[in-house]
Amino acid sequence: MITLKEVHTKKELKDFVKFPFELYKGSPYWVPPIISQEMEVFNIDVNPVFQDADANLFVAIKNNKIVGRIAVIINKLDLKQSNNKVRFGWFDTIDDIEVTKALLNKANDIGKQNNLDYIEGPIGFSNLDKVGALTEGYDHIGSMITWYNYPYYVEHFTKLGMVQEKEYQENKFPFSNVKPEFFYRVNNLVKKRYGLRPLNFTKTKDLMPYVDQMFDLFNKSYSELSSFVEITEVQKAYFKKKFISFINPEFIKFVMDENDNMVAFAVVMPSFAEALQKAKGKLYPFGFFHLLKAKKECKTVSFYLIGVDPKYKNKGVTAIIFNEYYETLKPMGVENCIRTPELEENFASHQIWKHFDATTYKRRKTFRKDLV
């Protein structure tokens, strides 16, 4: 018999967060989160997303043991955009379709109670959260910004009548594929033609005054995507603390116009995958050391975000960004570049990378089902 238990206490939340550690134990591909940071995501006193969203967490129990989990999310910003959906994320289960059915039925019930139209997942609260169930590339290591799952997840969704809603691709290319002579020339032409200049940093405190502009441009440049949810003012401060201080300042690049307005940005992160595996969910006593080492000695980097003001799209502005990254990454001996999940429909982004001869090595999807 399968029963669902809603998470209320700190201990129950910790059990919710730690379930995947048991499920993926021994997997060389799963990348564990830092437990304390994962718990903060669901702390309504810490995460400002709860000003615009509600989340109910559940664990599935069978034979007195946790066998599955789900976060059922209603984002009020979705409703403002007429996206009448209930989200589900942080979904994990043993290979038992009845467990999956019980968890999704709970999302279905909550959606109906709130007069919504359909469920979609796995997705988080916003575009900066993890997204999608892996459908290809199970034999590749994950990352700190993606979920990993076993192949049977997709089988369960399909058998239960869910259909594809969105598809994402993940691509990679060796740094040796980067041909600086291509964008070096374009970089100079674009800077001269439009009066643009790159902005680089060596200290986090120096880039912080520009981060709000970056999030504003993120909202502006990603607003046309079907998955878009606006980053609010209070969330900006939270993401500054959560992400920006964690990234090498030289890995964040801005392009400014003559009036000091930001027209493009990009964020690259060191790959923390192997360091997180060594940390085993804990910062102390040794986890912080592994992460710090990965930050200083990274040979693989992830292109996390890149955005261009719509007025400057298709004008070669990304050549400035890539030129700056080449100058930063080459002396560090970076060997591999990974791109985080990109919507199949995001053709503008695909065009940005067309000269790097990238390989699609993972795909992931979100699934939906009308509420009944």
CATH number at residue 71: 3.40.630.30
pLDDT per residue as tens digits for the range 31-73: 999 999 999 999 999 999 999 999 999 999 999 999 999 999 9
Give dist(CA 124, CA 112) in Å, integer. Answer: 20
**Percent over 90 (pLDDT), the chain:** 71
Q: Is residue 18 domain-resident? A: yes
Indicate whether 267 and 135 sit together in one domain. no
What separation in angstroms does the CA of 14 have from each of 21, 24, 36, 192?
11, 16, 9, 54
Q: Is residue 368 domain-resident? A: no
pLDDT per residue as tens digits for the range 119-154: 999 999 987 789 999 999 999 999 989 999 999 999
46: three-class secondary structure by DSSP: coil
Q: For the residues 360-367, what does the mean pLDDT come to?
A: 96
Last residue of a domain, one of 140, 170, 200: 170
Indicate whether 52 and 184 sit together in one domain. no
Q: Is residue 166 domain-resident? A: yes
Residue with tokens 């790159």, as numbered in its chain:
198
Give dist(CA 251, CA 329) in Å, integer. Answer: 9
Indicate whether 93 and 187 sit together in one domain. no
Q: For the residues 98-113, what does the mean pLDDT come to?
A: 97
Give dist(CA 294, CA 18) in Å, integer. Answer: 24
Indicate whether 18 and 111 sit together in one domain. yes
- For 153, the domain range is 2-170
pLDDT per residue as tens digits for the range 253-270: 999 999 999 999 999 999
Q: Is residue 369 domain-resident? A: no
What separation in angstroms does the CA of 143 have from each of 32, 165, 271, 275?
9, 23, 7, 10
Indicate whether 178 and 311 sit together in one domain. yes
Indicate whether 128 and 145 sit together in one domain. yes
Q: For the residues 170-179, what does the mean pLDDT come to?
A: 91
Q: Which residues pair with 85 in a beta bridge?
A: 118
Q: For the residues 322-329, what does the mean pLDDT come to?
A: 93
- Indicate the number of domains in the chain: 2
Q: Assess whether pLDDT exceeds 80 at residue 346.
A: no
Which of 78, 165, 113, 146 is CA-nearest to residue 339? 146
What separation in angstroms does the CA of 13 have from each of 10, 41, 69, 92?
5, 11, 11, 14
Give dist(CA 19, CA 164) in Å, integer. Answer: 26
Indicate whether 177 and 301 sit together in one domain. yes
Q: Is residue 371 domain-resident? A: no
pLDDT grade, residue 227 (50/70/90)?
low
Indicate whether 293 and 227 sit together in one domain. yes
Q: What are phi and psi of 56, to 5 degrees?
A: -120, 125
Q: Which residues pair with 367 in a beta bridge?
A: 121, 164
pLDDT in the model for residue 247: 86
pLDDT per residue as tens digits for the range 10-35: 999 999 999 999 999 999 999 999 99
Indicate whether 294 and 152 sit together in one domain. no
pTM surpassing 0.85?
A: yes
Q: Is residue 367 domain-resident? A: no
Give dist(CA 233, CA 48) in Å, integer. Answer: 10
Q: Assess whether pLDDT exceeds 80 at residue 223.
A: no
First CA to last CA across the chain, in angstroms? 24
Indicate whether 237 and 90 sit together in one domain. no
10: three-class secondary structure by DSSP: helix
Which of 212, 225, 205, 332 is CA-nearest to residue 268? 332
Q: How deeply is 217 buried, as exposed, middle or buried, from its count of CB atoms within 10 A (0-12, 13-18, 19+)?
A: buried
Last residue of a domain, one of 150, 170, 190: 170
- The set of residues, in sequence order, having a beta carbon less than 8 Å from that of 255 and lying 6+ positions away, is 196, 197, 198, 199, 262, 263, 264, 265, 317, 320, 321
pLDDT grade, residue 229 (50/70/90)?
confident
